[in-house]
């Protein structure tokens, strides 16, 4: 079968012919219907040899941690799914047994590191291939009649902002304000989730006019360029200098500093982007009771919630589609910042 693989640290990913995998005991094979391209893949492929080695992901590795498919073959002993089922893949795999996993929060598995469990596409072969293996049927969520191409990105670009926003829901009451920094793949879904779940006024910040236009189309009340003037623009728009919550989908030093300027007493700053920025926390470093969080992906039940938001039409992903042969181009466009919404590979 064909697969998009990261072969050598520092080189662009390549389309390669690899053996079609056979499901072992307990495993499920999917015929992939859609695979999303995330900026985290670009981050991993941008690491130096030493930094990459610290992650320990073996190469070559098939990319893709957002996946959807049709159940195609079952390993010995698999129950609960049938050949022909349309499913989405829950990506942050865990052990299934620890306290976090027992609550469906496999993204926060206490033992994944020790057991060497990694998500597909981030340490083991992922979804950017004709077929992929799933280690356990619990990592599959029924898609029903949701279009896999339009919805595959919800497994990360929807689930991650959903989980990030849920942590601040108690504060996003009438009259509250939420800032979304970076309105690309994750950010443009975050805006819709904020609009669907909260009465907050939503303000989008990005460095690109095209992304700001998309932010407004999907429901942002205000959209401004992310620069030194942004705090003044926001203050003029909402009538006060600080906001209730900042969701930073970039998290490089300039956006983290911007988020700090916008945070006031009891504000939440939620760092979702895998940037290299850092921030101070402490009695004299922040307004009283201001919090800073850095959440990771989301839980299995939260993925079900997000798919439900898509079924009711409250959230949809703006997608640009690419064939498997065109997948390297999708990553080039992601790197260059010229995608509208999410790039989805359709094998
Ligand atoms: P993306 O490239 O689709 O979107 C990033 C957006 O940020 C783009 O619209 C870009 O124009 C904008 N941007 C760049 N610099 C900016 C700046 N200085 N100010 C404001 N906007 C700026 O990326 P994505 O796939 O949506 O991923 C976003 C981030 O989230 C990445 O860092 C990714 O690694 C990370 N991520 C984290 C998790 C998690 O679990 N924490 C999960 C998935 C992705
Ligand atoms: Zn991702
Ligand atoms: Zn666990």
161-188 pLDDT, tens digit each: 999 999 999 999 999 999 999 999 999 9
Is 298 a pocket residue for ligand 1 (Cβ < 6 Å)?
A: no
Third-level CATH fold of 159-293: Rossmann fold (3.40.50)
Q: How far is the CA of 99 from the centre of ligand 1 (A)?
A: 30
Sequence-separated (6 or more) residues with CB below 8 Å from residue 136: 26, 27, 28, 93, 96
Residues 304-314 have pLDDT tens digits of 999 999 999 99
Residue 42 Cα: closest atom of ligand 1: 34
Confidence of residue 56 (pLDDT cuts 50, 70, 90): confident
What pLDDT, on a 0 to 100 scale, did the predictor assign at position 55? 85
What is the residue with the minimal CA distance to atom 10 of ligand 1?
A: 182
> What residues are paired with 132 via a beta bridge?
30
pLDDT tens, position by position, 75-120: 999 999 999 999 999 999 999 999 999 999 999 999 999 999 999 9
What residue's CA is closest to ligand 1, atom 34? 40
Would you kindly state where each structural domain of the chain is located, as residue ranges? 2-156+298-346, 159-293
Find the farthest-apart pair of alpha carbons in the chain and give their distance in angstroms, rounded: 63
Q: Is the CB of 250 under 6 A from ligand 1?
A: yes
For all residues of the chain together, what is the average pLDDT? 97
Asked if the model's pLDDT at residue 276 lies above 90, the reply is no
For residue 312, report the distance from its CA to the centre of ligand 3, in Å: 31
Ligand 1 neighbourhood includes 185 CB (under 6 angstroms)? yes
Q: What percent of the chain has pLDDT over 90?
A: 98
CA–CA dist 267, 260 (Å, integer) = 10
317 lines ligand 1 (CB under 6 A): no
Q: Give me the helices (H) in the chain, please.
A: 39-45, 49-55, 99-102, 112-115, 148-151, 159-166, 185-197, 209-217, 230-238, 253-262, 300-311, 327-336
What the block records as the tokens of 326 is 């065109």
CA of 186 to the centre of ligand 2 (A): 9
User: What is the length of the chain?
Assistant: 347
Which ligand is closest in space to the CA of residue 91?
Answer: 2
Both tokens of 202, joined, read 């939503």
The phi and psi torsions of 59 (rounded to 5 degrees) equal -120, 150
The Cα–Cα gap between 2 and 328 comes to 13
The CATH code of the domain at 2-156+298-346 is 3.90.180.10
In terms of pTM, does the model score above 0.95? yes
- Ligand nearest to the Cα of 254, by number: 1
Half-sphere exposure of 303 (CA within 13 A, CB side): 31
């Amino acid at each position: 079968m064909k697969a998009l693989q990261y072969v050598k640290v520092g080189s662009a990913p390549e389309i390669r012919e690899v053996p079609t995998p056979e499901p072992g005991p307990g495993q499920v094979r999917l015929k992939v219907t859609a695979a999303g391209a995330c900026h985290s893949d670009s981050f991993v492929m941008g690491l130096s040899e030493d930094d990459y080695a610290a992650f320990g992901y073996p190469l070559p590795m098939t990319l893709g941690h957002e996946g959807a498919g049709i159940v195609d073959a079952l390993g010995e002993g698999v129950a609960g799914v049938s050949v022909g089922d349309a499913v989405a893949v829950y990506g942050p795999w865990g052990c299934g047994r620890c306290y976090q996993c027992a609550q469906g929060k496999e993204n926060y598995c206490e033992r994944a590191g020790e057991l060497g469990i990694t998500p597909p596409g981030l340490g083991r072969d992922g979804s950017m291939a004709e077929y992929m293996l799933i280690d356990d049927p619990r990592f599959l969520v029924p898609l029903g009649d949701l279009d896999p191409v339009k919805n595959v990105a919800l497994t990360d670009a929807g689930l991650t902002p959903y989980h990030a926003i849920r942590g601040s829901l108690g504060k996003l009451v009438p009259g509250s304000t939420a800032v979304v920094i970076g309105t690309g793949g994750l950010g443009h879904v975050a805006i819709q989730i904020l609009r669907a779940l909260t009465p907050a006024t939503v303000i989008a910040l990005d460095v690109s006019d095209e992304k700001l236009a998309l932010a407004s189309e999907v429901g942002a009340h205000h959209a401004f360029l992310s620069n030194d003037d942004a705090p003044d623009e926001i203050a003029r728009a909402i009538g006060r200098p600080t906001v209730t919550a900042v969701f930073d989908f970039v998290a490089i030093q300039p956006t983290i500093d911007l988020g700090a300027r916008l945070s006031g007493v009891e504000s939440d700053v939620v760092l979702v982007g895998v940037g290299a920025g850092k921030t101070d926390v402490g009695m004299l470093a922040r307004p009283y009771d201001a919090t800073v969080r850095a959440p990771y992906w989301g839980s299995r039940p939260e993925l079900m919630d997000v798919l439900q938001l898509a079924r009711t039409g409250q959230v949809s992903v703006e997608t640009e589609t690419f064939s498997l042969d065109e997948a390297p181009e999708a990553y080039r466009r992601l790197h260059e910042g010229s995608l509208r919404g999410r790039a989805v590979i359709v094998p």
